[in-house]
Amino acid sequence: MTKRPRKSPARGRRRRPVSRRTRSGRRTNRRRWRTTALKVALAGLVVVAGYGIYLDATIRAQFEGKRWTVPAHVYARPLELYPGMQLTASALQAELGALGYRRAHRAPRSGQFRRQGSSIEVVTRGFRFWDAEEPSRHLKAHFRNGTLVRMTGQDLGPLRLEPQRIGGIYPAHNEDRVLIRLRDTPKLLAKALVAVEDRGFYSHHGLSPRGIARAMWANIKAGGVVQGGSTLTQQLVKNYFLTSERSLWRKGQEAIMSLLLELHYDKGEILEAYLNEVYLGQAGPHAVHGFGLASHFYFAQPLEELSIAQTALLVALVRGASYYNPRRHPARAKIRRDRVLDILASQGVIDAGEAKVARREPLGVTPLPPGGTSDFPAFMDLVRRQLKRDYQEQALTSEGLRIFTTLDPRVQAVSEQALGQRTARLEKAAQLPDGSLEGAVVVSNASGEILALVGGRHARFAGFNRALDAVRPVGSLIKPAVYLAALSTGRYTLATPLDDTPLRVQGPDGEVWAPRNYDRQVHGSVPLHTALAQSYNLATARLGFAIGIRQVLHTLERLGVERDIPAYPAVFLGAVNLSPIDVAQMYQTLASGGFRTPIRSILEVTTADGEPLARYPLAVEQVASPENAYLLTAALQSAVSSGTGRSLTGRLPAGMAPAGKTGTTDELRDSWFAGYTGDFLVVTWLGRDDNKPAGLTGAGGAMQVWADILIRLRSRPLNPVQPPNVEYAWVDGQGRLSGARCSGAVQLPFVRGTLPTENSACVGDDAVGAGQDVMDWLRSLID
């Protein structure tokens, strides 16, 4: 482009002296012509030199500065292995499979495992975590009854497998790569690449006339373009600095830049750049650049584990990654790979025997590209939102940051499956239009780490992320806040009788609020724990008025609900719009014994080299007394065992004793369940995007999904630590002290000093004692 205008003024100047020639002497003319020519040549030289300098600067700036934009890499939680953990051999095998470990039948090498009955022998790859280096280890894990019972091997401390890569944060131009260093690159790959693409790489200066001649000869022989004469250097320049325009001018530019590149940098640096730059495939919208990522993309394995055949396939792809795409055109890809193997054998890179064995190997690509496009769109969405608060877009998409998250792929898979299957069944049973019933799931652990996030029943499709954005009325899920507020006043115990009778409240605008119970019944005087477990609206509304709306809103805020909630009495019964993740935050505080624990999806952000940048540590803040939290959890346990959640009895493993609460909204539009066990807090929501009735109660819909998840996760029981100043006592249905054998008596926890003072008729007006209980029991036998 810039050359042409430079030429034309030179020509113009040249013509003028010629026209004058007839008038002046010939000699003068010739001298003039010579001086002008000299000037022109000098000017041209200056321009060419200037252009050279410009190109030189371009090359150096790009090559020496940051050479590649690398998207942030996002990792799932690493799997911790320790004796005593609940893990089946199959689950470990699945995890290893997802990490690209190969099954071996002999003693495994790094990145391989061997399964022998109920044990798995594995050699881990090792990984540099931000807090410590996890070395490669050889171990054997023994399983029994769904438990990893024993680990044998050398140097077995607490052990983490490497984390799965679950996605990246991509820039607009969508390049993805995993950077590799030449010194870490397998020798075979470097040799094969040179042998196939540029035999003279180590002897030329950027251009290879012999290579061009050879290519031309081959093309003439074949009657078409079968071989390119470009050196690796030229290919790199073409990919890295230039557009794909094909012209002689661009060829020239490429040649100059190649020579300059060779002038400044040694062969190793150029080869390393090439290894990271070359285009090797397409993962959805993301271009796969470099061998580091290609190895993961096609084989789910790191480069250093690749076989000869696998290496040959990657080298084969250099010639045309989409034309030879091994997933789409396996036959074509195999022919090209075998051709590469032949070249390698003929040039002595591998021997004939190795080539023969390698040719027999299948392509061995994984069926689906792992981690290229995210398999976890809802969770990635959450991660991205959090990162955008703390980082600039550009840092996320180009610096190769490593982001360690809390996602547990196993819990995620279980949750997705449970939601997908259950919604399909419920939809059919409720005769809803196909695909109209939607849902969301949030699962976290005791530290507030989000293990799974499902944004809809078709979890693999990015779209409306209901776990974060479906802000819907929560119904009775709100009630624990009302009851916690009541307990916190110190005026209520779990046995305090509440008044479950109709009430009418006129607001300032004249509107009358007259709530009803779900069963349309009036229950009269009921103990507080029963009102919560049975989710009685009248008793709860009256309780709310007794302690005041401000107090309830304050409690909600303390529990971690950050949305603005209007101060209407209808709030007592859940006329509050929250998203599933808001609900998870609220219940996390209850599950953590009254300590608000911010839920997190990111644990750590490091630079590309593993240097820690920022961490998101476990943090807690006490917002309720341990005693009241304990009491409330006990009440929520009875809500599951004998209240609105009692249909779970028999479905869940005995003794899991979860605490939970159902939520149902007007005309059955929203079906909620929030509940926790010893290991997990799970919040489920079902409903329709068009907000029409879904025909499901909390127990009939969301709770079923909840149970499906918990059954598959195999959780430890909920076993809250009893605070020292909490004691248990038997009380009757009126909230009076009773005995173990009195009919309708239940054992409830009380903060010391708050036991009911009245006695049940069953125990008489006197002191409660074991003897009395036996008498009652005898009497009951006679009666």
Partner 1 sequence: MASSWARDGPRANGPDTCRGEERTKLNTVLSMRKAISKSVCIAIALLHLASCATAPADSKAPVVEAGTPARGAAGRPASAPAVDSRQATPAGPSRDATGLRGERLSSPAPATEPRSTGTAVLALLQTADLQRAEGQLAASAASLERALRIEPQNPWTWYRLASVRLEQGRLDQAEQLARRCDSLAGSDNEVRARAWRLIAMIHERRGDAAGAREASRRAEALEPGFDPAR
Positions touching partner 1 (CB under 8 A) are 80, 82-86, 130-132, 147, 149, 157-158, 389-392, 395, 399, 401, 445-447, 449, 592-595, 598, 602, 604-605, 607, 611-622, 626, 655, 678-679, 716-717, 719, 721-724
Q: Are 383 and 74 in contact (CB under 8 A)?
A: yes
DSSP label at residue 52: H
Q: Minimum distance between the CB of residue 489 and partner 1, rounded to whole angstroms?
A: 20
Q: What tokens does 710 get?
A: 């918990």
- Residue placing its CB nearer to partner 1 in the complex, 172 or 721: 721
- Residue placing its CB nearer to partner 1 in the complex, 605 or 682: 605
Q: Are 363 and 37 in contact (CB under 8 A)?
A: no
- In our burial notation (b when 16+ CB lie closer than 10 A, e otherwise), range 475-511 reads bbbbbbbbbbbbbbeeebbbbbbbbbeeeeeeeeeee
- Residue placing its CB nearer to partner 1 in the complex, 301 or 405: 405
User: Tokens 């249909």 — which residue?
Assistant: 647
For residues 56, 59, 61, 62, the Cα torsion angle rounded to the nearest 10 degrees is 170
CA 711, 427, 671, 599 torsion-angle sign: positive
d(CA 731, CA 128): 57
Q: Minimum distance between the CB of residue 724 and partner 1, rounded to whole angstroms?
A: 6
d(CA 151, CA 120): 10
d(CA 413, CA 770): 51
Q: Are 292 and 179 in contact (CB under 8 A)?
A: yes
Q: Is 8 a catalytic residue?
A: no
Amino acid (one-letter) located at 356: K
Q: Which of 444, 476, 535, 579 is catalytic?
A: 476
- Gyration radius from the chain CA atoms: 36
- Residue placing its CB nearer to partner 1 in the complex, 223 or 724: 724
State how far Cα 614 lies from the chain centre: 18
Cα–Cα nearest to 382, from 401, 399, 407: 407
Q: What tokens does 302 get?
A: 């790191």
Amino acid (one-letter) located at 625: S
SS (H, E, C) 272-297: HHHHHHCEEEEECCEEEEHHHHHHHH
- Residue placing its CB nearer to partner 1 in the complex, 452 or 745: 452
Q: Minimum distance between the CB of residue 468 and partner 1, rounded to whole angstroms?
A: 16
Q: Minimum distance between the CB of residue 626 and partner 1, rounded to whole angstroms?
A: 4
Reported for 772-777, long-range contacts at CB under 8 A and 24+ positions apart, including other chains, are: 772/739, 773/739, 773/740, 773/741, 773/742, 774/741, 776/739, 776/741, 776/742, 777/741
Q: Minimum distance between the CB of residue 415 and partner 1, rounded to whole angstroms?
A: 18
- Residue placing its CB nearer to partner 1 in the complex, 351 or 390: 390
Burial of residue 203, with CB atoms counted within 10 A of its CB: 0-12 exposed, 13-18 middle, 19 or more buried: exposed
Q: Are 305 and 124 in contact (CB under 8 A)?
A: no
d(CA 727, CA 535): 25
- Residue placing its CB nearer to partner 1 in the complex, 224 or 617: 617
Q: Minimum distance between the CB of residue 747 and partner 1, rounded to whole angstroms?
A: 18
- Residue placing its CB nearer to partner 1 in the complex, 130 or 513: 130
d(CA 628, CA 716): 23
Neighbours of 602 (CB within 10 A): 20
- Residue placing its CB nearer to partner 1 in the complex, 222 or 618: 618
d(CA 724, CA 764): 29
Q: How many residues does the chain have?
A: 783
Q: Coil, strand, or helix at residue 16?
A: helix
Residues facing 444 on adjacent strands: 450, 681
Q: Minimum distance between the CB of residue 677 and partner 1, rounded to whole angstroms?
A: 11
Burial of residue 706, with CB atoms counted within 10 A of its CB: 0-12 exposed, 13-18 middle, 19 or more buried: buried
Q: Minimum distance between the CB of residue 261 and partner 1, rounded to whole angstroms?
A: 29
Which residues, at least 6 apart from 753, have a Cβ–Cβ distance to it below 8 Å?
A: none
d(CA 737, CA 524): 19
CA angle 375, 379, 381 (to 5 degrees): 100
Cα–Cα nearest to 279, from 306, 255, 266, 297: 297
Q: Are 99 and 92 in contact (CB under 8 A)?
A: no
Q: Minimum distance between the CB of residue 126 and partner 1, rounded to whole angstroms?
A: 17
Q: Is 476 a catalytic residue?
A: yes
Q: Are 302 and 308 in contact (CB under 8 A)?
A: no
- Residue placing its CB nearer to partner 1 in the complex, 423 or 625: 625
d(CA 768, CA 756): 12
Q: Minimum distance between the CB of residue 159 and partner 1, rounded to whole angstroms?
A: 9
d(CA 508, CA 542): 18
DSSP label at residue 188: H
Which residues, at least 6 apart from 195, have a Cβ–Cβ distance to it below 8 Å?
A: 343, 344, 347, 349
Q: Minimum distance between the CB of residue 393 and partner 1, rounded to whole angstroms?
A: 10
Q: Minimum distance between the CB of residue 679 and partner 1, rounded to whole angstroms?
A: 8
Q: Minimum distance between the CB of residue 682 and partner 1, rounded to whole angstroms?
A: 16
- Residue placing its CB nearer to partner 1 in the complex, 147 or 366: 147
Strand pairing class (119-123; 138-144): antiparallel
Q: Which of 95, 197, 438, 449 is catalytic?
A: 197
- Residue placing its CB nearer to partner 1 in the complex, 501 or 719: 719
- Residue placing its CB nearer to partner 1 in the complex, 135 or 285: 135
Which residues are annotated as catalytic? Answer: 197, 476
